[in-house]
Amino acid sequence: MKTVVLLSDARNPVSGRAQLSRLEAQAIGLAAELDESPQGLHVGPGEEGVSAGLGHGLCGLDVIEAPEGEDPLPALAAFLATSLKSDEPPALVLCGRRGEGGLDTGLVPYLLAEALGLPILADAVALRPGEASDTLVVDQAMAKGARRRVTIRLPAIVTVHPLAPPPLPFAFGRMRRGEIRRHAADVSEVPVDVDAGERPHRARPKLMRTAGTASGGANLHVGPDPEEAARLILAYLEDNGIRRYGQG
């Protein structure tokens, strides 16, 4: 199963040097179980930092060169859209939850899924191929240590949870042998709406009481109509003071 791991621009919290995010190293570990030669994908000024992914188990790394601080999304979307149309399209795109030290919106996986029209599943701790072809069984981490097993149809984007198994140990020799392919950014193909907008911070109530992992009870709705489901969710959020109507 061809797997691509997205590598973000992470910074070491102590030295501020570019490094591989631990979560993405864990994603590489998950990818290595599915794919003999998992590939990495990074958009940024160079491979400093992310090349460590090769030492943690990636076999190759595509680096799309973009100036520092540039939004990586259009380049990512364009590159993945091209490779999805190729003869050997990636079946799975793995990513972390957010960058570490760069522009960390945490939105990249979602915006990317939207741009590519792929399903997205968050917080995977274990992956294995499903029984049917082109499916993937994902163990999803939920609050309070609960796990949920979900089967999804591929291709898909999956984000990795920090409770996934620790990364494969770093080996300098593997990093040295890994192939790095540099590309110029080509953003013309897929237009992406990257204006996530900015709002002033507003304190939200804590969800300790209401948030539970137990699915079921009065709030369980099996197979509702999408319109109905959206209405129920919005009603729930408003009941709990999480969303106030019209204020976002």
Partner 1 sequence: MTAAAFLPWLIVAMIIVAAIQIGRRVMLWRQGRPAAVDWIAGLKALPRRYLVDVHHVVDRDRSASRMHVPTAGGLVLASGLLVLGLIPALAASHLYWALVALSFMVMTAGVVLETQRRYPRALPRLSLGRWQRLPVYLGVFAVCGLLTTVLAALGNPLPVLSLLLFFPTAAAGLALAATTATGPMRHALAGATHLVAHPRPQRFDPEAAKGEATGLRPLDLDAEKLGTETPADFAWNRLLAFDACVQCGRCEAACPAFAAGQPLSPKHLIADLAAASGGGHARAYAGQPYPNERATGGAAGAHTAIVSPEGLVHPDTLWSCTTCRACVEECPMMIEHVDAIVDLRRFQTLERGAVPMKAEEPLAHYRGCDEPNGRPLFERTDFAAGLSLPRIVEKGEAEVLLWLGQAAYDLRGQRTLKALIQTLNAAGVDFAVLGGQERDCGDLARRLGDEATFQRLARANVETLSRYRFGRILTADPHALHVIRNEYPAFGGAYKVVHHTAFLAELVESGRLAPASLAGRTITYHDPCYLGRYNGEVEAPRALLDALGLERREMARSGKRSMCCGGGGGAPSADVPGDTRIPDIRMGQVKETGAKTVAVACPQCTAMLEGVTGERPEVKDVAELLWEAIEAGRRKPAGAAAARELEPA
Spatial distance between the Cα atoms of 33 and 50, rounded to a whole number of angstroms: 20
Looking at residue 82, the DSSP 8-state letter turns out to be: H
Minimum Å gap between C-beta 16 and partner 1 is 9
Binding flag, residue 180, partner 1 (CB under 8 A): no
Contact stretch for partner 1 (CB under 8 A) within 86-94, 167-175, 180-188, 203-211: 167-175
Which of 119, 95, 92 shows the shortest CA–CA distance to 108? 95
Q: Exactly one of 33, 103, 121, 174 binds partner 1 (CB under 8 A); which one?
A: 174
Minimum Å gap between C-beta 14 and partner 1 is 4
State which of positions 18-77 bind partner 1 (CB under 8 A): 19, 52, 55
Name the residue nearer to partner 1 (CB basis): 163 or 168.
168
Burial (0-12, 13-18, 19+ Cβ within 10 Å), 67: exposed
Binding flag, residue 14, partner 1 (CB under 8 A): yes
Name the residue nearer to partner 1 (CB basis): 2 or 42.
42
Binding residues for partner 1, rule CB under 8 A, total: 15
The answer to whether 183 and 65 are in contact (CB under 8 A) is yes
Binding flag, residue 15, partner 1 (CB under 8 A): yes
Q: List, in order, residues 6 or more apart from 152 with CB less than 8 Å away.
A: 119, 121, 135, 136, 138, 158
Binding flag, residue 172, partner 1 (CB under 8 A): yes
Q: Which two tokens stand for residue 73?
A: 């999304």
Q: Exactly one of 169, 191, 224, 241 binds partner 1 (CB under 8 A); which one?
A: 169
Residue 238: phi and psi, rounded to 5, are -75, -40
Spatial distance between the Cα atoms of 58 and 53, rounded to a whole number of angstroms: 6
Give the three-state DSSP class for 68: coil
Q: Exactly one of 81, 122, 168, 194 binds partner 1 (CB under 8 A); which one?
A: 168
The answer to whether 157 and 117 are in contact (CB under 8 A) is no
Spatial distance between the Cα atoms of 221 and 35, rounded to a whole number of angstroms: 37
Spatial distance between the Cα atoms of 138 and 122, rounded to a whole number of angstroms: 10
Which of 180, 11, 4 shows the shortest CA–CA distance to 102? 11
Name the residue nearer to partner 1 (CB basis): 107 or 175.
175
Binding flag, residue 165, partner 1 (CB under 8 A): no
Minimum Å gap between C-beta 53 and partner 1 is 13
Binding flag, residue 236, partner 1 (CB under 8 A): no
Contact stretch for partner 1 (CB under 8 A) within 63-71, 90-98, 171-179, 207-215: 171-179
Q: Exactly one of 170, 194, 232, 240 binds partner 1 (CB under 8 A); which one?
A: 170
Positions in the binding site for partner 1 (CB under 8 A):
12, 14-15, 17, 19, 52, 55, 168-174, 176
